[in-house]
Amino acid sequence: MPVATHHKGSSEPASGAAAPEFPAAAVPPLLDLRGLSKTFGAVQALGNFTATIQPGEFVTVVGPSGCGKSTLFNIVSGLEEPDAGGVVRFQGASVMAADLLGRVSFMPQRDLLLPWRTVIDNAVLALDVEGAPRKAAREQARAMLPEFGLAGFGDQYPSQLSGGMRQRVALMRTFLFKRELMLLDEPFGALDALTRTMMQRWLLDVWQTHKRTILFITHDVDEALFLGDRVIVMSARPGRVKLEQKVDLPRPRPAEVVISPEFIRLKRTLLEAIEEEAMKSFLAPGADGATTTEVR
Amino acid sequence: MSGALVASPASRPETMSLALLAPLWRFARGLFWLAVVLAVAEGLIVLFGVRPYYVPRPSVVIGAILATPTPYVQGFLRTLSETLLGFASGAVFGIGIGVLFFRARALRELVFPIFIVSQTIPVIAFGALVVLWFGNTLVAKAAISFYLTFFPVTVNTLLGLEGVDPRQEALMRSFGASRFKLLTHLQLPSALPQIFVALRLASALALVGALVGEWFGDTVGLGVLLLQGMYNENVVAIWAAIAVCALLGTGLYAAVSMIEKWLVFWGAEQ
Ligand SMILES: Nc1ncnc2c1ncn2[C@@H]1O[C@H](COP(=O)(O)OP(=O)(O)OP(=O)(O)O)[C@@H](O)[C@H]1O
Ligand SMILES: [Mg+2]
């Protein structure tokens, strides 16, 4: 792994929007990604992705389908190594991706609940893996059930739950794995619009009480703006940062914030950037559909 | 199984009592149909005047068992012990080797072909050797039982372990799971449905192994009763032995199925 320098911000793509306005030296970033690329055979999923995440920040990531968002998360959670040349710095130290295994709380795109474990037992899965005392872990999970809208369902099996509840169990599992950085990959992607809005508001509440740093992937611009302190728009594949947009909407954000002029102005900027990229990925010769079938 | 309970806040205890009641009910139903079939067989034999030399009346067979129950009970217990010993050791060994092959690819490529060759040798050919090695003991019969049992278990364990959802594995790894935790918390439970398919088959094979083992020389056992019936041309005794064998085989299969229902309660969903 190349030696990392303490140079910051100069490589940020400046597409009109401001780079994060944190004073560079005040708080060191929790996560610092520089020039990350990832190639699968003939497909380059990520190309020179560079971004920093401050402690306590809620950063949302949007981008066209297949632009490498999940690939980015797989690197940050330690499951995949980036191509040579990329730098990952976590809590101030340059690390191999594999060093991050067990240090980042990762929620994949599917809930992936284990059918033989009850809600409680699924929620404490990460703690079980860590070897935490079982009884204490379960008690802790049981106490969290109401907060996650699962009161009375602790002893149910996943097959007995609705999609929204399964997703909340997966979120609870992610929250119980107490790590400073949480990666949520489209956690509400499969939910209906109403449930989704409820879950967004609920997530903000939970985030405020539990104080974590969240990196959140979504397809939905409204969701990205409603939740995030900052939105990262990714380019078509190979994914890099196309635009970083700070969201200065005051918190706590009421539901009506989505019709405020400021929200709409931000949304217009984001949509413009995203549409341009979506168009590119649609028209590109090796567009998603074609390459995907070839790869699998 | 749990599909019927969707969204009702019923939990494991209730599901479990249901799981225990259902087999009892099925057992009673099975007994009823068995009685019906036997009665029909009895009627047909009398009606068509089938000679007892070919098929004796069920009532005669049952009567013969009840008249001298001791050899049948002893035979049942003896063959049951041989079968259970062979089945249990075969299951444990089969699962263990399956896990080993799963983890050590090189070893698997080296040893698996030998296993396959060993399985193509007819058990009869193998039986003489086992009796030479272990003498005329319970262990010898169990060894033949074991020989028939472990291979399907190994194959299905391997199949089940390799069928684990790679995304679920990735999730476990992201929690920092060691290879051992991965095995105990994800891979083995995921493979259980596959393993039980093999165990059900193996329970029947284990009985075959025990019976064949007894033919290489023994004094007690259902296999011995079968042979004696054959030498004495005592058709009723042969049928009686067959009936007790059937009872043993069905009982074993049912027991394995019940353990499966209880352990793999979530079914092969996903
Ligand atoms: N393990 C892999 N092997 C080969 N190709 C892969 C692999 N993982 C991802 N890819 C390819 O990399 C590209 C980016 O995939 P990725 O899953 O990161 O996209 P995404 O942005 O998360 O898409 P979506 O929004 O649909 O979830 C895709 O073309 C995909 O086919
Ligand atoms: Mg994805």
**DSSP string computed for A112-175:** ---TTS-HHHHHTHHHHHHT--HHHHHHHHHHHTGGGT-TT-TT--GGGS-HHHHHHHHHHHHH
Pairing of strands A43-53, A230-234: unpaired
Which domain-ending residue is among A178, A208, A228? A178
Same domain, A171 and A273: no
Same domain, B81 and B192: yes
The pLDDT tens digits of the residues spanning A101-144 come to 999 999 998 999 999 999 999 999 999 999 999 999 999 999 99
Which domain-ending residue is among A120, A147, A178? A178
Q: B162: domain range?
A: 66-263
Nearest listed ligand to the Cα of residue A63:
1
Among A130, A159, A184, the residue to mutate for chain B (most B Cβ within 10 A): A159
The pLDDT tens digits of the residues spanning B40-60 come to 999 999 999 888 888 899 999
Same domain, A204 and A293: yes
Ramachandran angles phi, psi of B224, nearest 5°:
-65, -45
In a domain, B2, yes or no: no
ipTM for the predicted complex? 0.82
Same domain, B29 and B77: no
CB B162 within 8 Å of CB B190: no
Quote the minimal CA–CA distance from B6 to chain A in Å. Answer: 5
As a whole-number percent, the residues of chain A with pLDDT over 70 amount to 87
Quote the minimal CA–CA distance from B109 to chain A in Å. Answer: 26
Burial class (CB in 10 A: 0-12, 13-18, 19+), A91: middle
Pairing of strands A43-53, A105-107: unpaired
Mean pLDDT of A159-173: 91
Same domain, A56 and A83: yes
Which domain-ending residue is among A178, A202, A221? A178
Q: A271: domain range?
A: 1-104+184-296
Pairing of strands A31-40, A43-53: antiparallel
Q: Among candidates A209, A242, A250, A191, which has minimal Cα distance to A226?
A: A250
Same domain, B96 and B217: yes
Contact residues for A176 (Cβ-Cβ < 8 A; gap 6+): A123, A124, A126, A127, A137, A140, A141, A144
Closest Cβ opposite residue B11 in set A116, A130, A156 = A156
In a domain, B59, yes or no: no
The pLDDT tens digits of the residues spanning A195-249 come to 888 889 889 988 988 889 999 999 899 999 999 999 999 998 889 999 999 999 9
Q: Calculate the alpha carbon distances from A68 to A37, A60, A72, A240, A282 in Å.
A: 10, 14, 6, 9, 15
Same domain, A92 and A22: yes
As a whole-number percent, the residues of chain B with pLDDT over 90 amount to 65
Same domain, B132 and B203: yes
> What one-character DSSP code corresponds to residue B11?
-
The sign of the torsion formed by the CA atoms of B120, B122, B123, B127 equals negative
Residue B123 has pLDDT above 70, yes or no: yes
Closest Cβ opposite residue A159 in set B3, B8, B176 = B3
pTM: 0.82
Ramachandran angles phi, psi of A93, nearest 5°:
-120, 140
The pLDDT tens digits of the residues spanning B211-221 come to 998 988 778 89
Q: How many domains does chain B divide into?
A: 2
In a domain, B235, yes or no: yes
Number of separate helices (H) and strands (E) present in chain A: 9, 10
pLDDT of residue B268: 57
Chain pair A-B, CB pairs under 8 angstroms: 72
As a whole-number percent, the residues of chain B with pLDDT over 70 amount to 91
Same domain, A200 and A283: yes
Helices in B121-186 by DSSP H: which ranges?
A: 123-134, 138-162, 166-174, 179-182
Instruction: Round to the nearest angstrom and report the end-to-end CA distance of chain A.
Output: 30
